Amino acid sequence: MQVIPAVDIRGGRCVRLLQGDFSKETVFANDPVDMALHWELMGAERLHIVDLDGARSGRPQNAEVIGRIVDAVNIPVQVGGGIRSIETAEMILNMGVDRVIIGTSAALDTEFAEEMFANFGESVILGLDALGGMVATHGWQETTDIDAVEFAQQMADLGARRIIHTDISTDGMLKGVNLEAMKGMASAVEIPVIASGGVTNIKDIEQLRKLEPLGIEGVIAGKALYTSSLNLKAAITAASGK
């Protein structure tokens, strides 16, 4: 199981938001490239980058910074935030990004989602955000009446190869992972699931690793790494079962 550090970019800086709230921002680095290089040096095998400005506006806003990160590191990078067209996905992938992430708002357009999955295959990930088991959209500001597990199954049927499942209620709270939600999602689909939200310490990594046989292939860690409640090297060791 991979431990994937998150590098969230807003206004060209590396920040973290509390449950996606733009008014609750903490800046951790003025240059996200420095942070990306730090996580690579610590042993990260992949980076998770989110263009927060892009997620809010509907199109990428920090492409220049993302390009510099891709050029600087020697590990795969996956990028989300504002990727809502085939052309935008191609532009981001052509920068050397390994995978692009389409958010729930975009995926609700099933024709677009199916086209993305058909065009890019393994190079596109479905980002599925949920609150109380229901799909959340528009930067987590709206919760639909769509069951998250049923939506995931629908997307898998349309060709999704991989899902990032974010539990909004735990994101940035440092109160632990919603293991039941992650277990339910991994058990319901036959494609790999990357867990996101609530990672706090090594115990969370160890518990998620137990779900690896169900299809949990990775976990995204953000605030816990930045506040040092989780050590990346120790987390990678725990995730490998060593």
Residue 34 appears among annotated catalytic residues: no
Closest CA to 81 of 63, 69, 68: 63
Q: What is the spatial distance between Cα 44 and Cα 72, in angstroms, rounded to a whole number?
A: 14
Catalytic residue among 8, 53, 167, 171: 8
Longest dimension (CA), the chain: 43
3-state secondary structure 133-196: CEEEECCCCEEEEEEHHHHHHHHHHHCCCCEEEEECCCCCCCCCCCHHHHHHHHHHCCCCEEEE
Query: Residues 6 or more apart from 195 whose CB is under 8 A from it?
Result: 165, 177, 182, 208, 211, 216, 218, 219, 220
Q: Residues for the chain: how many in total?
A: 242
Q: Which residue type sits at 209? A: R
User: Does the active-site annotation cover 51?
Assistant: no
| Token pair belonging to 165 | 């499942």
Catalytic residue among 53, 129, 171, 204: 129
219 neighbors 210 (Cβ within 8 angstroms): no
Instruction: Answer yes or no: are the C-beta atoms of 223 and 7 closer than 8 Å.
Output: no
- Catalytic residue numbers read 8, 129
